[in-house]
Amino acid sequence: MKLFGVIGKPVMHSLSPVMMNAAFRAQGVDAVYLPFQVEPGDLVDALQGLRAIGAVGINVTIPHKLGVYQWVSARTEEARRAGAVNVVRFTPTGAVGHNTDVGGWWASVAPFLGEGSLRAAILGAGGSVQAILTALAGERPGSEVLVCCRRPEQAEALAARYGEWLSVRHVHWPDRHEAIARADLVVQCTPIGMWPHGDESPVEAPDCFQAHQVVQDIVYRPLHTVFLRQAEARGAKVVDGASMLIWQGVKAYEWWLEREAPVEVMQRAVYEALEREEASGHA
């Protein structure tokens, strides 16, 4: 039996085991996918141990994406551009680091976007934003990205990193509504509105949303955040955060196994799990 898993802290809430084990069952793959909670100080020991016991691959989540990036013996182009690793394939001589957050995010929004460069407004400047900017740099170079965050130096660092392909500008947090109103694509990348604070939203004036926009919240607990409900009420096309989780998982599965993933099975596993959580009051 092949061993796969996800490392992080916290990690026991992860939906990746539900999604990946459903995919293995659907395709008759003799494999299991398990969550491993790993303290930052134990990261190298955990990685070496997983490799030693014959693990095939792992996903990597907070707070280990940079540490794993530094540890792996080789990196794909997507990982190098994003500056982070969220998926690893162990080899007899080391480990290869990859980043499926980049392609996973793009797959989640691309069907709803028109052609050509975009004007995007991003709320927040954390790790997920690098994956989004990496995708935009590759798929829609020349796009304007307004990064709405409280610390200007974070946006300035992103502008320096991606300035060759994108026009990245800082927007002060109090001015975020004006930035949203000017955008074609809006992505919410802060933890605001995440369970157990599901009654919160980073938007205080919902009339900033426009009917032509594509609006995504990468929070998926709860699945239907206040932020998305605000945008949908204004006629925007909304994309939930679970879609990014699913598509990065699809791309990880295909990278590990070199076969087409059962996308519908993986989608159903994640959405049914989230619906059960919401029904029980835990999301």
pLDDT digits (tens, 9 = 90+) for 177-236: 999 999 999 999 999 999 888 899 999 999 999 999 999 999 999 999 999 999 999 999
User: Could you tell me if 107 and 234 lie in one domain?
Assistant: yes
Mean pLDDT of 235-264: 98
What is the pLDDT confidence band of residue 154, given thresholds at 50, 70 and 90?
A: very high
Instruction: Give yes or no: 65 in active site.
Output: yes
Region of 72 please: left (phi>0), alpha (psi -120 to 50) or beta.
beta
Residue 142 shares a structural domain with residue 262: no
Give me the catalytic one of 2, 9, 65, 237.
65
Per-residue buried b or exposed e for 4-26, using 16+ beta carbons within 10 Å of the residue's own CB: bbbbbbebeebbbbbbbbbbbee
* Whether residue 180 is found in the same domain as residue 152: yes
Q: What is the CATH number for 162?
A: 3.40.50.720
Which pLDDT tens digit goes with each residue over 78-119?
999 999 999 999 998 899 999 999 999 999 999 999 899 999
For 34-58, what is each residue's pLDDT tens digit?
999 999 999 999 999 999 999 999 9
Q: Do 123 and 17 belong together in one domain? A: no
CB–CB of 11/46 below 8 Å?
A: no
Average pLDDT, the chain: 95
**Domain coverage including residue 6:** 2-98+243-280
Q: Are residues 70 and 138 in the same domain?
A: no
Q: What CATH number does the domain containing 92 carry?
A: 3.40.50.10860
- 171 and 119 inside one domain: yes
Distance of CA 79 to the CA centre of its chain: 13
Instruction: Please report, as a single letter, which amino acid is at residue 109.
Output: V
What is the β-pairing status of strands 167-172 and 185-188?
Answer: unpaired
Same domain, 85 and 182: no
pLDDT of residue 278: 84
pLDDT attached to residue 17: 98
Q: What pLDDT shows up at residue 78?
A: 92
For residues 146, 151, 152, 158, the Cα torsion angle rounded to the nearest 10 degrees is -60
Stated pTM of the model: 0.94
CA angle, 247 then 248 then 250, to 5°: 60
Burial of 106 (0-12, 13-18, 19+ CB in 10 A): buried
Q: Identify the pLDDT of residue 283.
A: 58
Is the domain of 113 the same as that of 210?
yes
Query: What is the pLDDT, as a whole number, of residue 282?
Result: 62
Residues 197 and 133 in one domain: yes
- Give the total number of structural domains in the chain: 2
> Token match 């798929």: residue?
139
Same domain assignment for residues 119 and 142: yes
